[in-house]
Amino acid sequence: MPEQETAAHRRTPAQEVAGFLRDRQEQIAQRWADAALFRTVFTHSRDEAVEAGRAVVDALAAVATAEAVEDAESGGFHVVRDQLARTAASRARAGSSITDISREVDALRPPVTELFLAEFPDAPAEHVRECTTTLTVLMGTLRLVVLETALSEGEEVIHRQRLQLLEVATPVIKLWEGIVAVPLIGTLDSARSQVVMETLLDSIVEQHARFAILDITGVPTVDSLVAQHLMKTVAAARLMGAECIVSGIRPPIAQTIVHLGIDLSSVLTRASLADALAYALRQQGADIVAREGAGSEYR
Amino acid sequence: MQTAGGVSACLPIHSDLDLVWVRQHVRQAAAQLGFGLVEQTKLVTAASELARNTLIHGGGGQMECAPVAAGGVQGLRLAFSDEGPGIPDLDRALMDGFTSGEGLGMGLGGARRLVHDFKIDSRPGGGTTVTVTTWLSVPPRPREER
């Protein structure tokens, strides 16, 4: 490189790109507003899209100034991370796949490169090449950030749904004075069984329950871990003075438990929830009998 | 060997969620091959035990599921393998009530009783592979003492 290059060309490629982004912020934002990514998200007004574009250009300029064009964690991106996440989420809701979104972010690059090349028609080719490479890397990092936020948004949703399931799937129902029941549904992993135990023990105290029925009709697989959880729950309820009945043991499950070799003889079991309720009522001195004079149709 | 679509698979076992996936796949595969509800449930339960062993004792691994046929009888074979520390004393591990963790100690022995064929291959430090097969109807042959 000759010694007598102009001041502008002594800037590093990243600084050059940062300066360009700042100078041409408005033009880039205007062009982006017509790109699929912004156009489809900000459908109400074009001004909104331009505004969003300006914020992203600002962020990119900040990242370039920090000489961190390859760093997706760069502080410059923090400002627009939420906005990018909303954009990605909005595209995902509209049915775009991650690949679609990636392609749409990629489509933001050509207009910027075009503007950049038009800006420096006379600069040394070597310098321009370095700068466009830097710009390309920067836009690649932007794409990475968008995809990252899109994916973490998905993980967030899954996590929330898991938590919701924990709560939803374990209602404790008061069947009668002193009798509560938990209809267990789905997989009884450690986290779920812990929630079941806690809510059941709480409701035993609240309802002054003497009988607690654990109905496993909705549990597809009873292996040794599930059995262990059941036995622990039964033992804990017993310590609190409530008798536990496990109901809803279907024939295949019963045969499997026998083959598995698990000894459930310490646990009171009944085939159906109705049997368990009838047992608990009888233990309390109540019986379900047909009303006198009620016809046989109610039998 | 006849392969039914969707039965053959290799599933990773690295988390609780993978166990759910394993159970669902085995249930579907068994149903597809025409297993009755009882055999389905037994096989799924055995798979659940073995997959959990792979996860907890083996530090994660995988399950290979494949349909097999012998003497005109169809069956489903599941192979659980890990690269974990292996089982130092196989006889003791298969004993009911023996546990190296906090479980009931019924997993390995119980799983063996839930399937027709059970093979375990383990070297200390060399990982463990447990292969189980359940047949659609047991071919007539002398039964080994279990």
Query: Strands, DSSP E only, in chain A?
Result: 173-176, 179-185, 211-218, 243-247, 268-270
Domain ranges within chain B, ordered by starting residue = 9-135
Residues in A closer than 8 angstroms to B42, CB to CB, are: 252, 255-256, 259
Q: Which CATH architecture has domain B9-135?
A: 2-Layer Sandwich (3.30)
- The pLDDT tens digits of the residues spanning A20-65 come to 999 988 989 998 988 888 888 887 888 888 888 898 898 888 888 8
B140 pLDDT tier (thresholds 50, 70, 90):
low
Mean pLDDT of chain B: 85
Please check whether residues A156 and A178 belong to one and the same domain.
Answer: no
Chain centroid to CA A135: 33
Please check whether residues A155 and A42 belong to one and the same domain.
Answer: yes
Q: What is the percent of chain A with per-residue pLDDT over 90, rounded to a whole number?
A: 24
Give the pLDDT confidence score for residue A275 in this predicted structure.
94
Q: What is the pTM of this model?
A: 0.66
Which of these three, A134, A161, A188, is where a domain ends?
A161
CA–CA dist A12, A223 (Å, integer): 64
Calculate the alpha carbon distances from A275 to A93, A174, B33 in Å: 47, 16, 35
DSSP symbol at B119: E
Please check whether residues A29 and A156 belong to one and the same domain.
Answer: yes
Q: Which residues pair with B79 in a beta bridge?
A: B64, B131
A185 or B42, greater pLDDT = B42
Residues in A closer than 8 angstroms to B106, CB to CB, are: 224, 260-262
Q: Which CATH number is A157's domain given?
A: 1.10.490.70
Please check whether residues A272 and A130 belong to one and the same domain.
Answer: no
A192 pLDDT tier (thresholds 50, 70, 90):
confident
Give the pLDDT confidence score for residue A185 in this predicted structure.
84
Evaluate whether residue A294 is within a structural domain: no
Which of these three, A161, A188, A207, is where a domain ends?
A161
- The pLDDT tens digits of the residues spanning B12-47 come to 999 888 898 899 999 999 999 999 999 999 999 999
Range of the domain at A184: 173-287
Contact A222 B45 (CB under 8 A): yes
Residues in A closer than 8 angstroms to B114, CB to CB, are: 256, 259-260
Please check whether residues A19 and A144 belong to one and the same domain.
Answer: yes
CB-based contact, A259 to chain B, within 8 Å: yes
Contact B41 A225 (CB under 8 A): no
CB-based contact, A45 to chain B, within 8 Å: no
CA–CA dist A203, A115 (Å, integer): 68
Residues in B closer than 8 angstroms to A263, CB to CB, are: none
Domains contained in chain A, number: 2
Amino acid found at B13? I
- The pLDDT tens digits of the residues spanning A213-271 come to 999 998 888 988 889 889 999 999 999 999 999 999 999 999 999 998 888 888 999 99
- Written in H, E and C, the secondary structure of A70-115 is CCCCCHHHHHHHHHHHHHHHHHHHCCCCHHHHHHHHHCCHHHHHHH
Q: What is the mean pLDDT of residues A180-193?
A: 83
Search chain A and give the residue with CA nearest B116: A259
Please check whether residues A140 and A184 belong to one and the same domain.
Answer: no
DSSP symbol at B144: P
The tokens of B90 are what?
């196989």
Search chain A and give the residue with CA nearest B38: A252
Amino acid found at A5? E
CA–CA dist A163, A195 (Å, integer): 11
Contact B104 A259 (CB under 8 A): no
* Distant-in-sequence, close-in-space partners of A42: CB < 8 Å, separation ≥ 6: A33, A48, A49, A52
Does residue A86 have a pLDDT over 90? no
- Residue B68 in contact with residue B76, Cβ under 8 Å? yes
Contact B104 A253 (CB under 8 A): no
Find the farthest-apart pair of alpha carbons in chain A and give their distance in angstroms, rounded: 114
Please check whether residues A11 and A127 belong to one and the same domain.
Answer: yes
Give the pLDDT confidence score for residue A253 in this predicted structure.
93
Please check whether residues A132 and A84 belong to one and the same domain.
Answer: yes
